[in-house]
Every structure is written in structure tokens, then in C-alpha cells.
Amino acid sequence: MFYVYVIKSKRTEELYYGFSSDLKARIDSHNQGKNIAIKSSVPWELIYYEAFKSTKDAHKRELQLKKYGNARTHLKNRIQNSLL
């Protein structure tokens, strides 16, 4: 399986969108500060993920979330409503 995930910084409340074939290891990697771009916002918590059978579909979804504001806005609303 391949995963598109959203993590939230517990320190800054910033959101980060990513893609991985090993979700647990990737989250651990983020929290160990191995991703230089978001190292300053550690610790991170997983708040959402989607699973895909193909890497192509997962990568396409990750790019959609990173590139298009409407996709992010829709997902943020979906996450927010699930927390109510």
C-alpha cells in the first residue's frame, strides 16, 4: 500500500502533506528531524491519511493536495468536521 498523509505540528500547528509506502517509518522520520524542510516544527502528529494500491495514484493525490488550494481546503474542512 501507498499512503498520502497529513501531519500537524504540535508546536506551530502547521500542516504538512506527504506520500510514503511506510507510513509509520515516515512519521518517525519526521519526528526525528530528518526532513530538513520541516525540522523546525517537530513534533508532528498524524491527523489524516488515505491508502492507495498504486504508487501512481498516491503520488497524483499528493501533488493534488500540494498544488491546488481547493483540494487542500476541501480536505481541511473534512478533517475539521470529523473532529466535531
Q: Kindly report the pTM of this predicted structure.
A: 0.88
Q: CA Rg, the chain, in Å? A: 13
Which letter does DSSP use for residue 33 in this model? T
Q: How far is CA 76 from the centre of its chain?
A: 11
User: Would you place residue 82 in the very low, low, confident or very high pLDDT band (cuts 50, 70, 90)?
Assistant: confident
> Which domains, from first to last, does the chain contain?
2-83 (3.40.1440.10)
Q: Which of 50, 32, 52 is nearest to 42 (CA)?
A: 32
* E strand intervals along the chain: 2-9, 15-20, 44-52
What distance in Å separates the CA atoms of residue 62 and residue 21, rounded to the nearest whole number? Answer: 13
* pLDDT at res. 84: 55
